Chains A and B, each alone.
Chain A
Amino acid sequence: MNLRKHLIEYSFIALYFGFMIYFFQNLGDSFYSKIIFSAALPVFYLLWSIVHHYFEDRLTVPIFLEYLSISLFVFIILLTASTI
């Protein structure tokens, strides 16, 4: 695993996720807030992956699809969990 090489970037993602989770703990009960909560993590992750792999010169369709599928998977889990 490439943990050491990208430690700063991973710390940035983890910090963002931590901040978002803390921020959305007290979010209201409206449908829009649920959508925002469910999308905040996966959308950021997908954008991060595009930027990161673009600058690493590794942005290919399979890699993009890998991140897209994981982001979609996470979005659906969070949305169904918060609306159930």
Chain B
Amino acid sequence: MKDLAQVKSRHSFKHHFLPHKEHKKRARLLHHKFFYFYASLFLFFVLILNVSKTFIPGVLGYDSEIKISELLEKTNKIREDNGLPKLILNEKLSKAAQEKASYMFKFNFWAHTAPDGTEPWDFIIRNNYDYSYAGENLARNFYYSNEVVQAWFNSPSHKENLLSANYDEVGFAVVSGVLDGYETTLVVQMFGRPKDLSTLTTIEQQNLFLASLNEKKESVNQAKVEGSSVIDVSTIFRYLAFSILGFVLALFLLDGFYSKKHGIDKFTGHTSAHLIMILATAVSLLVIFKNGHII
């Protein structure tokens, strides 16, 4: 009796991972009830994140390696490739961009126009930049400078700013802070052409400003090392999502090969179609995680 119970138990455990020949069913872990369980795991994880960001804001977030010099270089590379003159980095526009980023953190919004009606141009005017043309691009949660500029280039409205012949100068700000409970890195790009063209920034002024930015960046990095580290939400989620997708994918592959090998003709949906769906989901996740957000 004991042996029979042991065989039954082994048999039962095996069918959590392998299809059942007699019942013509998939492995138990591929049963629809288990998919509801996997989905619940994700929802539970999101719930934990939401609770965490409420009680310990700023601990969860995104880490980034974005540099203003690289943003400028990539922006100008794109302009040059399209037959346009390079933009010069302007200190006033950069200060306006910095103030805009700080304002978004202070009033917890992510938009061109603030909830109180403050426009991007208000920051530019406040910094005594008398413009004839001005524009703004925003980005958040990117890891690298190249990805930010590429995302703007891929979006028609942002591309219009990048490739506009109406601008001579540009300002950037890369600011980290807590937005909507998450530690976030915002990138603000402000374009302009001064009314008085004799006030255009010279290359020497630009280089001096870039040098001062590098000094500032070093001191910020030092403070960052001494301060508390951020737990990267994206990385945690990536591990969880790909682990579960990989597990499901492996089960479906095993299900398909085992059924073929043992001639099990199951009365279920199509394994190959499910495999395509799971792979498409994995690719979609890569796209989602690769991209930050732009407006």
Contact = CB atoms under 8 A, between A and B. Distances in A.
B293 A77 contact: no
B281 A78 contact: yes
Interface residues of A, number: 44
A66 B291 contact: no
Would you call the interface of chain B mostly helix, strand, loop, or mixed?
helix
A78 B288 contact: yes
A63 B267 CA distance: 8
Contact of B245 (A66, A76, A77): A77
Interface in B1-51: 26, 32-33, 35-36, 38-39, 42-43, 45-46, 49
B206 interface: no
A49 B269 contact: yes
Interface of A: 1-3, 6, 9-10, 13-14, 17-18, 21, 24-26, 28-29, 37, 41-42, 45, 48-49, 52-53, 58, 60, 62-63, 65-70, 72-74, 76-78, 80-82, 84
Interface of B: 26, 32-33, 35-36, 38-39, 42-43, 45-46, 49, 110, 154-155, 233-234, 237, 241, 244-245, 256-257, 259-260, 267-274, 276-278, 280-281, 283-285, 287-289, 291, 293-295
Given A10-B272, A66-B269, 9 more contacts: A17-B280, A60-B267, A63-B269, A66-B32, A77-B39, A77-B244, A78-B288, A81-B241, A84-B233
